[in-house]
């Protein structure tokens, strides 16, 4: 799961910052970790950001999420030095990436991934609003079928 939202000043409560996309809620269920799902999800979100003209991306990661932090760093994200307390666990660390400087992403074919909606190159069409929901081409909905317990398992 993952959301791409317009980046905003004042940690999300201020004005929209042109060119900045904020990624949030990026998580993979524990039983799916280690299968490349997170890599494909992040690559897709970054591809959509680039296709919609965004040149920077930001996100917060749990300080104890070493696997997630390695993934973000492999895609050009660097720590900004900002930290924030998290009432649910370890503090959060802030990352930002220059999307023009992000390393060349591997294509699904070069990794042997199946051709799924996350494995396809993003559309180059422009969205009609400030952002667009990401959905599977085979689905008319844009929401997840996850149950509340799934999200709790996904947060750490």
Cβ density class 20-39: b for 16+ within 10 Å, e for less: bbbbeebbbeeeeeeebbbb
pLDDT for 29-61, tens place per residue?
Answer: 999 999 999 999 999 999 999 999 999 999 999
Prediction pTM value: 0.65
User: Residue 53: which of 127, 135, 2 has the closest Cα?
Assistant: 127
pLDDT at 82 over 70: yes
pLDDT for 85-144, tens place per residue?
Answer: 888 888 999 999 999 854 444 444 444 444 444 444 444 443 333 433 343 333 333 333
- Residue 120 has a CB neighbour count (10 Å cut-off) of 14
Would you list the domain boundaries of the chain?
3-154
Q: Over pLDDT 90: what percentage of the chain?
A: 55
Domain 3-154 fold: Aminopeptidase (3.40.630)
The pLDDT assigned to 87 comes to 82
User: For residue 103, with 0-12 CB atoms within 10 Å meaning exposed, 13-18 middle and 19 or more buried, which class applies?
Assistant: exposed
Of residues 2 and 124, the one with the higher pLDDT is 2
């Amino acid at each position: 799961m993952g959301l791409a939202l317009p980046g905003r000043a004042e940690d999300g409560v201020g004005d929209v910052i042109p060119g900045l996309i904020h990624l949030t809620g990026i998580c993979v269920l524990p039983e799916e970790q280690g299968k490349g799902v997170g890599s494909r999800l992040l690559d897709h979100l970054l591809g959509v950001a680039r296709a919609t003209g965004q040149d920077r991306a930001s996100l917060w990661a749990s300080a104890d999420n070493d696997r997630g932090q390695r993934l973000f760093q492999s895609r050009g994200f660097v720590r900004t030095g900002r930290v924030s307390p998290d009432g649910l666990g370890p503090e959060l660390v802030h990352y930002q990436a220059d999307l023009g400087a992000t390393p060349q992403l591997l294509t699904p074919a070069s990794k042997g991934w199946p051709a799924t909606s996350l494995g396809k190159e993003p559309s180059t069409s422009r969205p009609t609003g400030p952002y667009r929901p990401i959905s599977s081409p085979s689905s008319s909905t844009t929401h997840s079928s996850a149950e509340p317990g799934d999200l709790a398992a996904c947060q750490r």
